Amino acid sequence: MTTKKVLFCATVDYHFKAFHLPYFKWFKEQGWEVHVAASGEIILPHTDQKFNIPIQRSPFRIQNFKAYKKLKQLMDYNNYDIIHCHTPLGGVLARLAARKARVTGTKVIYTAHGFHFCKGSPLINWLIYYPIEKQLANHTDCLITINQEDYQIAMERFNAKQIEHVRGVGIDTGSFSPLIEEEKSVRRQSFGYQPDDFLLFYAAEFNKNKNQKYLLEAVALVKDELPNVKLLLAGEGALLESCKILAHQLGISHMVDFLGYRNDLMELVPMCDVAVASSLREGLPVNIMEAMSCELPVIAVENRGHRELVVQNETGWLVQNERPDELAKKIKRMAIDEVTRKAMGKSGRKRMISEFSVDQILLHKSMIYTSYLKETEEVTWGVL
């Protein structure tokens, strides 16, 4: 019997390294050949062939036409059984390139990691991105959405053959796990913090959407009452320097640590007290899932992705972007009310394990993949 082949496509290969290796592993365990098409030269495990395709984030770059031609050649030559595409440009180019392959039986799956159009998003997003997604849904066998708001939009407006709600890419609840108090104290000291520091954590690129300015404004409002608060901001980006300047202007530079790019989040997150999140739009944020898995309660700006994760008054609190004073009040309450803080943290981890863990997502996705097998065959659904 001919070995079945699956192609994963995204804009950049780091997307797969960060989020999708368990699913590559699952396919290999079922005897499939795994191919990857994305920009970049990262060596990925559980991969038989990897193609460096010059996909660009901007839709207006000429390289994307070259990428489309390469993808089409790749698909026509390899006769894939399943093509699973991710990221906006990866999803657009792969579905356009796969039109001929679908006629001969290839199944095309697209995961929308948060539509660019949503409630409250700028009109320009609806004018540009909505028509594209609506049209490409006609060339999609299975459209996977990762939050309820996107799922409802897709069900009501799009014509994909099948629409599924899968709760993200899955969180490794073993790697992101809580520390006992003694371990937390030792960990903090190893990073230069004091046992009684109250650590707020947020990991995100510094850009307009991630909105770190809001967090800085809130910390400035508690600096007199809670001088032991430390805001840890991991990440890089265009607005990093302006945020450093703002922290200085607000008189809180000593309360904010700009950590830069980090590859040690599994060490940093569990030693903190509370996760904060200020982004205006999210699909289903992995940084929040990692924090909840480490038993951190969450205070987050209300948006569709945060609503999906944070159960109000149970795993944390949702606040309004226009109200840094509201966030400041919640920070003060978290700092004072240890009982509530720890109860919310435990509820959050329980929710991650039962609904958002890699094992749960892998089970759901394997059912989708298996439904598209061309031949009836016995498949053992693997778990990590």
Q: Which of 369, 271, 346, 349 is nearest to 32 (CA)?
A: 369
Q: pLDDT at position 211, please?
A: 96
Say yes or no to pLDDT of 236 above 50.
yes
Is 181-356 the same fold as 5-170+357-371? yes
Residues 6+ apart with CB under 8 A from 291: 201, 269, 272, 275, 298, 348
Say yes or no to pLDDT of 291 above 90.
yes
Q: Which of 289, 281, 371, 373 is nearest to 321 (CA)?
A: 281
pLDDT bin (cut points 50, 70, 90) of residue 134 is very high
143-170 pLDDT, tens digit each: 999 999 999 999 999 989 999 999 999 9
Q: pLDDT at position 18, please?
A: 87
Sheet holding 33-39, edge to edge: 49-52, 33-39, 5-12, 82-85, 107-112, 142-145, 162-165
Give the CATH superfamily of 181-356: Glycogen Phosphorylase B; (3.40.50.2000)
Enter the CATH code of domain 5-170+357-371: 3.40.50.2000
The mean pLDDT of 91-109, rounded to a whole number, is 94
Parallel/antiparallel/unpaired status of strands 198-203 and 274-277: parallel
Domain ranges of the chain: 5-170+357-371, 181-356
The mean pLDDT of 210-226, rounded to a whole number, is 97
